[in-house]
Amino acid sequence: MSHQMSDAMSTLTPLYRNRFLAFMAIAMSVTMSACATAPEPRIVTKTVDIAVPVRCDPQPRPQKPDLPDYHSAPDIFEGVKALIARDKLHTAYEGELEAALAGCMGE
């Protein structure tokens, strides 16, 4: 014990000193036993649904259309007709692609 602690202990009467020592012993044992009694870990199994990405390869793939070339049209009227035909073919192709994608996604 340090010098100050022994001086403080010597000023206590024997009755209070015994009570003080008993109190300190109990306090130390309670403090140390709290660290020793950790609760056991509980193992809990849970099922978690996780979406897993799956590669989608639509079969048969839509055939890409041969789009008319409007640059080689002889005049503007034939060029506009080629642009309209190109737009209709492209829109139809997009519809086929979207249908194939929807089939992959299960819609």
Q: How far apart are the first and last CA of the chain?
A: 81
| DSSP, res 12 | S
Q: What is the pLDDT of residues 20-73, one digit of tens each?
A: 888 888 888 887 776 666 778 889 999 999 888 877 777 778 888 888 888 888
What is the domain partition of the chain in residue ranges?
3-36, 56-107
* pLDDT band, residue 4 (cuts 50/70/90): low
Length of the chain: 107
Rounded Cα–Cα distance for residues 107 and 101 (Å)? 9
Is pTM beyond 0.75 here?
A: no
Angle in degrees, CA 66, 69, 73, rounded to 5:
145
Q: What is the pLDDT of residues 60-89, one digit of tens each?
A: 788 888 888 888 888 999 999 999 999 999
Higher-pLDDT residue of 15 and 60 is 60
Helix residue ranges per DSSP H, the chain: 3-11, 14-36, 76-105
